Structure formats: structure tokens, C-alpha cells
Amino acid sequence: MLHRLLIAFGVAATTLASAAAQPVAEAGAGRAIRSAIVLSDQIRRYHQGPGIWTGLTPAPPGYCATMAEGEAVLKLLTRLSNGALINRLPGLALRLQQAADRLSDALDEEEEINLEAGMAFVEFPCPVASPYPARAAVLARIRTRAPFCQRQAYAREVSFNARRVFMQLCLRQ
């Protein structure tokens, strides 16, 4: 009887701790999700839409900082998502994963364009400050291939790291 009481108390304490942690986790997660959306939009503008960087000039101002911040936010989303799963918050974990997928796809597309354009890096993700005319040719192929690769990645329902590997390989085909 005492054993059952202790187990019930432990379960109740865990549930209360999870419930108490939920608003704090969701507040931090909300900021991370908003950052991911802003960054993914900024990164996508480098390879599509207005403000596209064709490679005829050196990297635009803020490029290195945006790419580095994108990688940092992606790592944060991964940690927060894992924490949400551990704390039994599947809805929060799903929102974090969706934001991470969007950011990851934008980062993967940009990185693959740079690699295929033969860019040289002093320190990743900062390319050497020079024009890369080969980037313009690569842009069209990657932009055409990216939606197919994204649909395939969603269909496979793979984790963050596996998704990044899949997207990079798919974009190269």
C-alpha cells in the first residue's frame, strides 16, 4: 500500500512539474519559433524572390550573421523540441519541429547553392568576399528541385538530422 502511495505521489509530482513548466517552455518556444520564421524568410530571400543574391557581387551585408544565427536557432529548436517531448507536450514539440523544418530547408537550400557554386569559405558560413557568377546557374536548378525534396522529406517524416542529410542529397540530384 505504501509503495502504491509513493508511486502515485511521484506521478502527481511529475504531472505538476510538467504543468508548471509548460507556460515557461511555451514562452521560450514561442520566441524561438518567431525567430525561426523570420530567419527562414531572410535566408530564402538570398536564393529566391526580391533581394535574391545571384553571385554577381560579394555576399550581401548581414549574410554571415543571418546564416550563423539560423544554425544557432535550429539547434535551440531541437533542444526545445526534445524538452517538450520529455515533458509530454506533443503539441508544442510539433510546432517546434515544423518551425525547425522550415528553417532547416532554407539553410539547406542556401548551403547547397553555395557548395555547388564552388564558393570558398574563410570561416563557414562566411564566403570569401568576391563575386561567384556560378551561383546564378545553380540557383535555378535548386529552386526547381527544392519543392520536390521538401515534399519527399515531409512524406518520410524523418528527424531533424536525417531530414538535413536527405534534403542535401536530394538537392544535389
Q: What pLDDT score was predicted for residue 28?
A: 85
DSSP SS3 for 129: coil
Q: What pLDDT score was predicted for residue 22?
A: 55
Q: What pLDDT score was predicted for residue 5?
A: 33
> Are residues 127 and 121 in contact, defined by beta-carbon separation less than 8 angstroms?
yes
Residues of the chain with pLDDT under 70: 1-25, 158, 160
For residues 114 and 106, what is the distance between their CA atoms, to the nearest angstrom?
A: 13
Under 8 Å CB-to-CB from 59, ≥6 apart: which residues? Answer: 53, 126, 127, 129
Q: Where are the domains of the chain?
A: 2-172
Q: What pLDDT score was predicted for residue 95?
A: 95
Q: What pLDDT score was predicted for residue 154?
A: 83
- Residue 125 DSSP code: T
